Chains A and B, each alone.
Chain A
Amino acid sequence: MATQRQLIYDYLRHKKKFPNIWCAGCGIGIVMGAIIRAVDDLGYDKNQVAMISGIGCSGRMPVYLDFYTMHTTHGRALSFATGLKLARPELKIIVVMGDGDALAIGGNHFIHTARRNIDLTAIVINNATYGMTGGQYSPTTPQHMLATTAPYGNIEQDFPICELAQVCGAAFVARSTVYHVEELQGYIEQGLEKKGFALIEAVSYCHTTYGRLNRLGSAVDMMRALKENSITRQAAEKLPPEELQGKIVRGIFVDREVPEYTELYQKIIERAQSGGKA
């Protein structure tokens, strides 16, 4: 593995865009580091990798990375990526989104992109809030927690991201946290290598807004909580459901072979060009 310094030189637009905009203690940089190491370990050429993001704290990631990068509109990153993938099937495309981005405004695109099983690697950084706008409740804010728009507590059920991607037909689905960096990196590598739609949820609770409003302690305390409150899928299966309340279940949820969209479309092109009837 390359040294830290070498990775910085190789993958970051280090002379141009730093320091970054994220709060000290934020996990988004950890996810970015995991992505860089994953791409480096897999030996991809940078000219082969595109990163597309939506809007929000996570949406700012592409600007720092020396790939083909595109910071799109709120919730629509997967749709832009779908068009790019169909135009350039040879590219490895990483889509970075937040929970509000991917599941509220982009929920429709999320389920349909998973359903199409198009070869994209989607990473949802779940911070359980709208961080950039100051801590409003998101589709993944746990019930009863506080947010600036839920001053009496959130009454909505939270969206289980991995379970959602799974029933929609994604080929690879996994969840980890920014405490479990190596595990997270491994899932990203598996997702990148998977032919089809891969979804990796990276839990990284926002300490600046969500943590402060709910008195969850410092960034370090919240990082420690990720370690203590998470459990592997194997261990979770042995526990009764009531003991899983409030726990983050980590692991691979799906790893299956599903026909991939661009490959299926290539067959349509071949059929149409050989005079096959529509």
Chain B
Amino acid sequence: MRTAFLQGNEACAYGALAAGCRFFAGYPITPSTTIAETMARELPKVGGVFIQMEDEIASLAAVLGASVGGLKAMTATSGPGFSLMQEHIGYAVMAEIPCVIVDVQRLGPSTGQPTSPSQGDVMQARWGTHGDHPIIALSPTSVRECFDLTVTAFNLSEKYRTPVILLMDAVVGHMREKVSLPAPEELEVIDRARPNVPPEWYFPYEETASDVPPMANFGDGFRYHITGLMHDRAGFPTQRLDEINAWLTRIFRKIDAHVDDIAITEAINVEHARTLVIAYGCTARAAKEAVYMCRRHRVGLLILKTLWPFPKDQVLVAAHEAQRVVVPEMNMGQIALEVERLVGRSKVRRVRRADGEMITPQEIRAAIEYKE
């Protein structure tokens, strides 16, 4: 345990290092740049590599190349760069290459408001790359959580051979808090499964009991093929429908069947809550205060740390007795759509703000106490 006064971005970088990240490639962009700066300074100290690439497309490409070489790797960006990365998020899904992509959200679309926070990239994280695919996205609410969820992001990416997106925002990324960071031995760190068969028996995309085939590093004697094309179990391109279907079914199943392991939420006073607030990221901080202000009125709070796959069960359980579900978020209602799908549109009150200012506890309280 060590105590420090840190920015969310710095905590994210330290979390990555603690999780075993040894490669970072990125391109400067506000409000994520301090992650790159911290990694540039710290990575060589642990024998890792930092490189500043020519753009965000190349950054994620280099991350994937390094991950195939056996290093845990990540990049960090904000909305405009995140848009450029979508091409390679799809490649990482297709080729099942573990990596972590941090998006410190700022107000968009386009250049938008670089120094103002937003939660506008929730749906881009889900569906930004083309084609049907599963994805994991996490969202921290505090500096300590920036550290913890970065470790979790690496663990999930290694465990499920998938890209994991960490959706931070300009508030949690830039604010400073006093934090106690866990010592290395207190952390659970997961490394990808390695093949335990000789190279000639190895199939990098084989169906396995866990749905996650072991991954060999380039350089370790397993000479296999990786492609963004639909491929068979050996990694070679295929047009056979049975192989394409089997692959697509498996990559969805490997996430969907483990939602319990992936979906992280924090429930506060949700039992018998007649009004439930569902919040994430920096907005959850204001929601906490609003719920405290309304504590006499059976108001509960569900904080979503995992946004994708959507924590469906936790939301249904928490909203079980609720007459009203308030969803504050700094966009025009991206998570609210998911909540409406589950609990019914008539119950949901959105508190939306997409002007670069945080939602205040008073605004959330007004929605909680609103008389129809």
The answer on a CB contact under 8 Å between A68 and B218 is yes
Indicate whether B70 reaches chain A with its CB closer than 8 angstroms: yes
The answer on a CB contact under 8 Å between B66 and A269 is no
The answer on a CB contact under 8 Å between A66 and B227 is no
Residue of A nearest to B41 (CB): A278
Kindly state the interface size class of chain A when it binds its partner.
35 or more
Name which of A80-88, A138-146, A200-208 contacts chain B: A80-88
In the complex where A79-B61, A91-B219, A271-B44 touch, is A73 in contact with B53 (Cβ < 8 A)? Answer: no
Instruction: Type the 1/0 row for B210-234, where 1 means its CB is closer than 8 Å to any CB of A.
Output: 0000000111011111111100001
The answer for the CA separation of A87 and B73 in the assembled complex, in Å, is 10
In the complex where A50-B218, A83-B69 touch, is A73 in contact with B87 (Cβ < 8 A)? Answer: yes
The answer on a CB contact under 8 Å between A81 and B65 is yes
The answer on a CB contact under 8 Å between B45 and A90 is no
The answer on a CB contact under 8 Å between B65 and A84 is yes
The answer for the CA separation of A50 and B219 in the assembled complex, in Å, is 8
Within 8 A of A (CB), among B10-59: 23, 25, 40-41, 44-45, 47, 49, 51, 53-55, 57-59
> What is the distance, in angstroms, from B339's C-beta to the closest C-beta of chain A?
35
The answer on a CB contact under 8 Å between B47 and A269 is yes
The answer for the CA separation of A46 and B66 in the assembled complex, in Å, is 20
Residue of B nearest to A268 (CB): B44
Q: Could you say which of A16, A81, A268 contacts B236, with CB atoms under 8 Å apart?
A: A16
Indicate whether B63 reaches chain A with its CB closer than 8 angstroms: yes
> What is the distance, in angstroms, from A259's C-beta to the closest C-beta of chain B?
16
The answer on a CB contact under 8 Å between A82 and B51 is yes
Which A residues are CB-close (under 8 A) to B64? 80, 83
The answer for the CA separation of A271 and B67 in the assembled complex, in Å, is 25
Q: Could you say which of A71, A91, A109 contacts B227, with CB atoms under 8 Å apart?
A: A71
> What is the distance, in angstroms, from B343's C-beta to the closest C-beta of chain A?
40
Interface centre among A70, A109, A112 (most CB of B within 10 A): A70
Indicate whether A265 reaches chain B with its CB closer than 8 angstroms: yes
Indicate whether B71 reaches chain A with its CB closer than 8 angstroms: yes
Interface residues of B (CB under 8 A from A): 23, 25, 40-41, 44-45, 47, 49, 51, 53-55, 57-59, 61-71, 73, 87-88, 91, 217-219, 221-229, 234, 236-237
